[in-house]
Structure 1
Amino acid sequence: MPDRIFWTGGAIALVAALAIAQGDRLARLLTAEAAPTGLLDGCTDVPEAVALAETLRLRGIAVDRALADLARRKEEIAAAEAQIVSRLTALKKAKAALGETRAGRDAGRNEGIERLIAVYDAMKPAEAATIIATLPPDFAAEILTRVQPDAGARIISQIDPGQAAVLTAHMGARRLTGD
């Protein structure tokens, strides 16, 4: 009998030593895993076991479907993010192009206004007054604020006093607002 205990203890020690040496791999070999087809072998006469097995099977199917749905949604989100990034990049490019267009247009408009101012500076005050009197008051005020001060004074002196008062008010309003 003591020999039997000795050999049993030795076998257990050997298995323990192998388990330590093999680590995770041996633990997986010794772990029992139930395969779905063999789950009910010998238990079909126990209704609780059959019901539990069916419940577990249905839950497994539900989990698989949920995981597949999550994977599909993840792909959809990734595609939507890529589309948003692409759209944002296109919008940034369009904004930059629009800014360049506006800057070019503003520069061209300012250049045109500067040429127009030079023309009014070179005109005789009576001729300039005749033309400015027919322009919209805000545009006429813009011209008068940009011409040389002495030329502007001579032009305003040639305009009807009522209209000159309106233009002067527009010029003052432009200076107050900083336009």
Structure 2
Amino acid sequence: MTESKKARSPRKILIFVVAMLLLSGSLRLGSVGIAIASSPEDTEPSTEDGATLECVTDAETQELMALLRERSDRVAEVEATQAQRQKDLVQAEAELLENLNKLEDAETRLAATIQRVDGASSDDVSRLTSVYESMKPKDAALLFEQMNPEFAAGFLAEMSPSAAAGILSGLTAEKAYAISVVLAGRNANAPKI
């Protein structure tokens, strides 16, 4: 092949491709024109899946916007209420923790006071028991005769057995029996192993 024939071949191909494109374009334009001309004007446009598209008017848009603003205001109001409740809960929790700490401090002070009182009371009972043990049994028996049996039993339980026996022997039979019943029943309800 000569060079002129080689050059003509690509030109011919290029002209052929351009002609095909023009023909294809004109056919497409013609079919679109036919489709537009054949469709009635009052038909609503449709989407690819066949659903009908609706045109929204300005009034409908305004109504929709009003509804959206209303909804947004309600949501903002609820969020504000929730935020206030959250603040209230945090504040109540802080107050509760503060009151709990105060209560724990008061409980600690009360326990210390009770321990001091119990210790003082125990010291007083021990001191008084020592006094009764040092007395002559007849003199102590006169005092114990006047005491309530439960009260007297408390002192006698703290005394040595010999001092308690001396005082019990100086009491009337009824009083000695009442005190003995109290002493014997003190541990009646204690669990047995």
TM-score (norm 2): 0.67
| Percent of pairs with identical residues | 29
The whole-number CA distance in structure 2 between the counterparts of 1:177 and 1:160 is 28
C-alpha spacing 1:177/1:108, structure 2 compared with 1 (3 Å): farther
The whole-number CA distance in structure 1 between the counterparts of 2:64 and 2:187 is 87
The whole-number CA distance in structure 2 between the counterparts of 1:48 and 1:136 is 96
Is it true that 1:53 corresponds to 2:65 in the alignment? yes
**Selected match of 2:88 from 69, 76, 95:** 76
Larger radius of gyration: 2
Residue 138 of structure 1: aligned partner: 150
Q: What whole-Å deviation, never above 9, does each CA across 1:53-97 have from its counterpart, x for those lacking one?
A: 111010011111111111111111111001000000000000000
- Which 5+ residue runs of structure 2 have no aligned equivalent? 1-54
The AA in structure 1 aligned to 2:167 is I
Residue 163 of structure 1: aligned partner: 175
Compute the displacement of 1:46 (Å).
Answer: 3.1
The whole-number CA distance in structure 2 between the counterparts of 1:145 and 1:81 is 51
Compute the displacement of 1:44 (Å).
Answer: 9.3
Residue 94 of structure 1: aligned partner: 106
- Which 5+ residue runs of structure 1 have no aligned equivalent? 1-42
The whole-number CA distance in structure 1 between the counterparts of 2:179 and 2:100 is 46
RMSD of aligned residue pairs (Cα, Å): 1.6
- Structure 1 runs (4+) deviating above 6 angstroms are none
Q: How many residues were matched structurally? A: 136
The whole-number CA distance in structure 2 between the counterparts of 1:175 and 1:133 is 24
Residue 21 of structure 1: aligned partner: none
Q: What whole-Å deviation, never above 9, does each CA across 1:26-53 have from its counterpart, x for those lacking one?
A: xxxxxxxxxxxxxxxxx99533222211
Is it true that 1:85 corresponds to 2:133 in the alignment? no
